[in-house]
Amino acid sequence: MLLIRSLALAATPRRALTRVGLVLALGLASIAPALAAPPSDADINRLLAASRAQTMLDSMLPQIEAMQRQQFQQVAQQRQLDAQQQEQMKRMEARTTQTIRQALSWQQLRPMYVDLYKKSFSKEDVLAMAEFYESSAGQSLLDKTPALMQNVMVAIQEKMQPLFVDLQKDLEAIMNEAPAQAPAKK
């Protein structure tokens, strides 16, 4: 009622429209926080379960450990290690593997996931994603994503190979020119 009187008192139709716009904007602003309500832990846990987040994390661990082993092997190959140093290196590798497994365990990372999802998505977003991943299309996407990613990596490597060949040629040319261009000593 007050809104109608205030609009009627407006001197011009333009002022009336301005007031209506202002009232609508204030009304929308007051309900916006309710529309963008944060998701609950249960909502996020539902999404994490539907999207197989723990399974994906668990499947990444062997890859991370393989990279770590490769790094240790490279260090060992670059140095002449005696038997005692090799033993120390093995113990350090085992400790590092254990530390990585603990740091990247689901028990450690799940609270981080929940917090990040709360900061990044609304309740509506989380519920929509959970519904999608629970659907047959969502499950199909999850089933096919590892093969897709493998194919993407192979395609990228194939695309990069000619670039690496060119880079190698450029490096060799630079290395061959370097001694000839060294400044004369005075």
Comparison of pLDDT for 117 and 179, the residue scoring more: 117
Tokens of 132: 């999608």
Q: How confident is the model over 2-21, as a mean pLDDT?
A: 56
Q: Are 54 and 106 in contact (CB under 8 A)?
A: yes
Chain segment 19-56, per-residue pLDDT in tens? 666 666 666 665 555 557 999 999 999 999 999 999 99
3-state secondary structure 44-81: HHHHHHHCCHHHHHHHHHHHHHHHHHHHHHHHHHHCCC
Share of the chain above pLDDT 90, in %: 45
Block residue for tokens 């008192």: 9
Tokens of 52: 């197989």
Q: Are 45 and 117 in contact (CB under 8 A)?
A: no
Res 16: pLDDT: 62
pTM, rounded to two decimals: 0.63
Chain segment 139-156, per-residue pLDDT in tens? 999 999 999 989 998 999
Q: DSSP state, 39?
A: P
Res 126: pLDDT: 98
CA distances from 112 to 22, 45, 119 (A): 40, 12, 11
